Amino acid sequence: MCEAHAFILKDGEEEMFLESVDLVEMEEDEIKLVSIFGEQKILKARLKLYDNTKRKIVFEEL
């Protein structure tokens, strides 16, 4: 219910790349995301926006 979805900014557009994010861990410039389904994604990015009301986390690539 409470999970947010992760988006990546591409050419000014927000593109969803991971649903129902459970965990986000930053290590150096790499971010590891894990969904509640156990799906994992790693990307070189940084946080741009977290909007609790819209349930979204937006990253921009480095």
Positions touching a second copy (CB under 8 A) are 1-4, 21-26, 31, 36, 46-53, 55, 57
15 versus 32: smaller Cβ distance to a second copy: 32
DSSP 38: S
- CB-based burial label for 22 (10 Å; 0-12, 13-18, 19+): middle
15 versus 62: smaller Cβ distance to a second copy: 62
The dihedral through the CA atoms of 53, 54, 60, 61 has a sign that is positive
Minimum CB separation of residue 9 from a second copy in Å reads: 11
Minimum CB separation of residue 55 from a second copy in Å reads: 8
